[in-house]
Structure 1
Amino acid sequence: MCRWAAYRGDPLYLEELVSSPAHSLIEQSHCATRAKTPTNGDGFGVAWYGDRSEPGRYRDTLPAWSDCNLRSLARQIRSPLFLAHVRAATGGGTRRDNCHPFVFENWSFMHNGQISGFERLRRPMEAMLDDELFNARGGTTDSELMFLLALQFGLRQTPIAAMAEMIGFVEGLSLNILGSALVRYTTAFSDGKSLYAIRYATDSKAPTLYASTLGGGFCLVSEPLNDDVDAWAEIPNGSAVVLGEDGIDITPFGAEKPTEAMPRVAVAMPA
């Protein structure tokens, strides 16, 4: 399983998540504590927003702990919204095109999880893409394909509903082709204005997701960046998170399209 961290709020140096904390993302790349395996050494990437609508991005196949450029960039780049990811490959080779975050136009996306039986599902999933999105596919991962499918299903207009429709499509395809469906899915994605996240699984083993205040904003992480347990709120399985101008909003999430009438989830955020 991969590890990731994302932030939205007042401009912040990337190093505040990537390299400075005691359990920073670089530390998690070789010593994760809340994942199946402690090592996430199959590449890394960061995407950040600045003056332009499209995000800047830096990715490489080196382990995050061994790339001196990552620490240097994280110390110099200051952004109000950014995503960072360290990869433990569950499918797809170790190559730059398979490293997260993935970007398309103004959107950025990163993922931790898996689709069981993906190799048998890949071709019909790709067949759902129009020519523009199919031609945008650069790698071979299930993560990138799920991102493009969400765009196909309307991510630009209704981000959370598009993700719900995409996951429902994948589950239906799995049932038809494999006879069963196993999707584990924790993701962060952004249009450059709001930061979204989803924690979901068809079983009880959704990859972890935590939230906390940081500086003048909020961060979302796969696992806490320090040992202060009171500073981190765990996001429940089956939740969608939106970080926007009005702060953090958490609602129930399922594979079927959620409705506006669904109740809010009570999650106590650290003061």
Structure 2
Amino acid sequence: MILDAQHSLVAQSLDSPLGAETVNGDGFGFGWYPVGSEQGSLPSIFHSVEPAWNDENLREITDAVESPLFFSHVRAAAGPPIQRTNCHPFRYLNWLFMHNGVIHGFHELKRDLTFAVDRSLYPHIQGTTDSEVLFHLALTFGLLDDPIAGMRKAVQFVEEIGRARGVDHPMQGTIALADGATIWAFRYSSEGRSRTLFHSVDIPTLQEMYPDVPRLKLFGQRARVVVSEPLNDLPGAFLEVPESTVAILGTEGYHYEPFMARAVPA
């Protein structure tokens, strides 16, 4: 998935056909939970400001690490500087967070958004990105108790502040959260034209569809991925997550829930 797939993460860092930025060479990050991970397990993270295609440590780590749940991310800096503290995924306790997108007008909204972060959480913000502030807003609004409600309140707050400051469509992107056992993958934008988000079909179905593809025999029966772009061109292998939806991946597979009823009008 990270190195060797047809449209691997490294390949997407060089050429991302469905991305807002074709090249994503401003650093990368990798976060993973330990073998036997369950809700509450603490993840490890590795960040680098090197392009993913140019960091030999990435291959060393992916060759050595065994993990039942991991996140990976390549970055195209949209303003905040290229530094390790600005690389995703971000971590708080047992939670990992990634964002593929942007808070439009963040330069104008930053003070209001940052000052709304709970005082106890504020010292944990180490970088300067809109994504890290969004994560800490969601934590402030109750993500630890209810991830969907916490993220919804954070996005609604961003839109409220954005509209008050004259930003037509403040929120754009897809978001991934994990607690050690479950992944929540959100697709939403204020204008209703969100960046892409896909998840794989279950492995038994894929193996039945493509019995002559050797690579599919390498995966366990419960292997699943959530990605910004399909990892290969096999028809039917990946399903697109609908707009304003959260895809939830647990031990029983995927299910969808509505995220935001509609985009907030400008």
Q: With structure 2 as the length reference, what TM-score do the two structures score?
A: 0.87
Deviation at 1:255, TM superposition (A): 6.8
Q: Percent identity?
A: 41
Aligned to 2:45: 57
Q: Verify the 8 A CA contact 2:158 2:170 in the aligned structure 1.
A: no
Higher strand fraction (1 or 2): 1
Aligned to 2:225: 219
Return the structure number with greater relative CO, CA threshold 8 A, min gap 6: 1
Aligned to 2:105: 117
Aligned to 1:18: 2
Once residues 229 and 203 of structure 1 are traced to their aligned partners in structure 2, the CA distance between those partners, rounded to angstroms, is: 29
Aligned to 2:73: 85
Residue 69 of structure 2 aligns to a residue in which SS? strand
Aligned to 2:207: none
Which residues of structure 2 form unaligned runs of 5+?
204-218
The reply to whether residue 71 of structure 1 matches residue 59 of structure 2 is yes
Deviation at 1:124, TM superposition (A): 0.9
Once residues 198 and 248 of structure 1 are traced to their aligned partners in structure 2, the CA distance between those partners, rounded to angstroms, is: 13
Q: Deviations over 1:104-143 (max 9, x none)?
A: 1111101101111101111111111122211000000000
Q: 1:182 to 1:160 in 2, by over 3 A?
A: same
Structure 1 counterpart of 2:257, from 251, 261, 264: 251
Aligned to 2:234: 228
Residue 197 of structure 1 aligns to a residue in which SS? strand
Aligned to 1:183: 171
Q: Verify the 8 A CA contact 2:48 2:84 in the aligned structure 1.
A: yes
Deviation at 1:205, TM superposition (A): 2.0
Q: Verify the 8 A CA contact 2:34 2:68 in the aligned structure 1.
A: yes
Aligned residue pairs total 240
Q: Deviations over 1:80-106 (max 9, x none)?
A: 110000001112100000000000111
Q: With structure 1 as the length reference, what TM-score do the two structures score?
A: 0.85
Once superposed, what is the RMSD of the aligned Cα atoms? 1.4
Q: Deviations over 1:181-209 (max 9, x none)?
A: 33112011111111111000111320100
Q: Verify the 8 A CA contact 2:198 2:226 in the aligned structure 1.
A: yes
Aligned to 1:41: 25
Once residues 66 and 20 of structure 2 are traced to their aligned partners in structure 1, the CA distance between those partners, rounded to angstroms, is: 32
Aligned to 2:181: 193
Aligned to 2:87: 99
The structure number with the bigger radius of gyration is 2
